[in-house]
């Protein structure tokens, strides 16, 4: 009996000792890396193209709350890493957040430029959602207003022109659809509006061509002829002139 009791006591004592050692281990404070070291590790990952690892390290920099300067650099670095990793939705959000938090920062113009590019890189075919076109154009136009002498002005002007060309192509896409389904008045309305909105965009010769056809098929002969005359005058080298002349002759035959 006494032997069993001694065994039980020994077992309990051993259990208590193990629990004590475990609790001591848990209470030992973990060694954390400094914000500076975390940031440098993120830079190394970034240089080596390991963008997801760079993002993870730079997020830790922000979580340390040790350095506002490093946190700011980490925010922009995270957006850049998303961009280079082709995660353009996350990149656009990152650049926008950076600008909201640091509107007077020396790289706020760069962030706005990259925000526009992030949306621009989401543009796909003409028959898909055109929101990225609108978002990128908004960012580029804001850049030109906020930073008229900005370092990225030339690139922004070129991308804005491409966005406007894409917008006109979409309007033309819709106008052609209306025309081909014999909805001539809807086609006329859409194409007329396009000429007013995008007077400097490429592809206006095709707009004039389809607008002239829509007028003629809708019975508005004079307006149709006027569109074809404008096509010849404004775009003498257009490939649509020959077809416009043929269509005009066939539509007025027998008058």
Q: Among 121, 150, 166, which residue terminates a domain?
A: 166
The residue among 107, 138, 166 that closes a domain is 166
Task: Give pLDDT tens digits for 66-108.
Answer: 889 999 999 999 999 999 999 999 999 999 999 999 999 999 9
134/196 same-domain check: no
Span of 17-31, 161-175, 201-215 with lowest mean pLDDT: 17-31
- Listed residues 136, 166, 196: the one ending a domain: 166
- Once rounded to an integer, what is the mean pLDDT over residues 105-118? 98
Provide the token pair at 135.
Answer: 């978002």
Predicted pLDDT of residue 21: 46
199 in the same domain as 142: no
Q: Which residue range forms the structural domain that includes residue 95?
A: 34-166
- The three state secondary structure string of the chain is CHHHHHHHHHHHHHHHHHHHHHHHHHHCCCCCCCHHHHHHHHHHHHHCCCHHHHHHHHHHHHHHCCCHHHHHHHHHHHHHHHHHCCCHHHHHHHHHHHHHHCCCCCCHHHHHHHHHHHHHCCCCCCCCCCHHHHHHHHHHHHHHHHCCCCCCHHHHHHHHHHHHHHHHHHHHHHHHHHHHCCCHHHHHHHHHHHHHHCCCCCCHHHHHHHHHHHHHHCCCHHHHHHHHHHHHHHCCCCCCHHHHHHHHHHHHCCC
Q: Do 144 and 126 lie in a common domain?
A: yes
Kindly state the average pLDDT of the residues 114-128.
94
For the cut 90, the answer to whether the pLDDT of residue 118 exceeds it is yes
How many alpha carbons lie under 13 Å from residue 106 in its C-beta half-sphere? 2
Which whole number is the average pLDDT over 190-200? Answer: 92
114 phi, psi to nearest 5 deg = -70, -30
- pTM as predicted: 0.80
pLDDT score at 250: 78
């Amino acid at each position: 009996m006494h032997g069993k009791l001694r065994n039980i006591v020994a077992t309990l004592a051993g259990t208590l000792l193990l629990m004590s050692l475990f609790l001591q281990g848990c209470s030992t404070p973990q060694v954390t890396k400094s914000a500076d070291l975390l940031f440098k590790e993120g830079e190394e990952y970034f240089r080596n193209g390991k963008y997801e690892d760079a993002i993870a390290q730079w997020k830790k920099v922000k979580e340390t709350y040790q350095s506002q300067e490093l946190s700011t650099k980490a925010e922009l670095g995270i957006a850049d890493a998303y961009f280079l990793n082709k995660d353009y939705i996350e990149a656009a959000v990152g650049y926008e957040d950076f600008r909201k938090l640091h509107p007077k920062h020396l790289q706020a113009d760069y962030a706005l430029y990259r925000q526009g590019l992030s949306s621009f890189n989401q543009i796909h075919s003409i028959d898909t959602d055109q929101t990225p076109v609108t978002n990128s154009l908004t960012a580029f136009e804001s850049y030109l207003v906020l930073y008229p002498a900005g370092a990225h002005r030339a690139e922004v002007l070129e991308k804005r022109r491409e966005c406007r060309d894409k917008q006109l192509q979409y309007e033309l896409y819709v106008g052609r659809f209306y025309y081909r389904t014999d909805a001539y008045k809807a086609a006329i309305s859409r194409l007329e509006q396009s000429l007013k909105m995008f007077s400097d965009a490429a592809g206006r010769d095709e707009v004039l061509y389809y607008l002239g056809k829509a007028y003629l098929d809708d019975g508005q002969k004079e307006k149709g002829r006027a569109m074809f005359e404008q096509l010849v005058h404004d775009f003498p080298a257009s490939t649509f002139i020959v077809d416009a002349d043929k269509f005009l002759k066939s539509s007025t035959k027998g008058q």
